[in-house]
Each structure stands twice: as C-alpha cells, then as structure tokens.
C-alpha cells in the first residue's frame, strides 16, 4: 500500500477527484496553501495498492496542467522602507507528488 500525496492547483482538483473516484479510488481532499505564492492549492491523499500507483499517476498527469502565472509577490525596497510589488512569472507544475509507504491501512 502507498499513500500518494498530490499537491494540485485548485482549478484542477474537482476534475481530478471526479476522475479518481470514478475509477473507484478513495481520495481525501485537504485545503492547503503554498509557501511561496501564499495562495490556496489542494492537497489530495490517495491511499492505493502498490500496483495501482502508476495508474493513479497517469490520471493525475492527464488532468493537471502546468500553468504560468504572473504574481506581484516580490517587492523591491525603496528608500524610506517603501515596498513596491513587481510582477514575477512563476510556472506552477501540474502536480507535486510524494509517494510514501503505508505501514497499515485500517478502516474500523
């Protein structure tokens, strides 16, 4: 058994959850926030048998798109401690995925 932790963009989450549950995978959705952009993203926990991992990864790849966004996160410091935001292009990946071994999966 593996636990797939997938951090995806909010826009992709509903479609991905639908595709996964249609294929009878179980999913838990957590609302999360990226440390860099400080904006919302979605973390999905997907517990699956080892041999299903590749299939789940394919579904994630098919659903989640890479996007380039312009953010005004970065600032330049001006005299007098004034901060001026300037645009910064950031490429957000389709999904950031961690795969962990699960010691036990119990539903009581």
Helix (H, G, I), strand (E, B) or coil at 80: coil
Helix (H, G, I), strand (E, B) or coil at 88: strand
For ligand 2BA, the closer CB: 10 or 79: 10
Binding region for ligand 2BA (CB under 6 A): 7, 21, 24-28, 34-37, 41, 45-47, 90-93, 96, 107
Please classify residue 90 by burial: count the beta carbons closer than 10 Å to its beta carbon, then call 0-12 exposed, 13-18 middle and 19+ buried: middle
Q: Which residue is nearest to ligand 2BA (CB)?
A: 34
C-alpha angle 3/16/106, rounded to 5°?
A: 30
For ligand 2BA, the closer CB: 91 or 104: 91
For ligand 2BA, the closer CB: 31 or 84: 31
Closest distance between ligand 2BA and the C-beta of residue 9, in Å? 8
């Amino acid at each position: 058994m593996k636990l797939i932790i997938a951090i995806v963009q909010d826009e992709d989450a509903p479609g991905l959850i639908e595709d996964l549950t249609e294929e009878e995978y179980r999913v838990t959705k957590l609302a999360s926030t990226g440390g860099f952009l400080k904006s919302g993203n979605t973390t999905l926990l997907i517990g699956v048998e080892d041999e299903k991992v590749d299939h789940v990864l394919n579904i994630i790849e098919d659903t989640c798109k890479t996007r380039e966004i312009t953010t005004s996160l970065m600032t330049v410091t001006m005299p007098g401690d004034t901060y001026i935001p300037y645009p910064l292009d950031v490429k957000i990946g389709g999904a950031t995925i961690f795969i962990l071994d699960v010691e036990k999966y119990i539903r009581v």
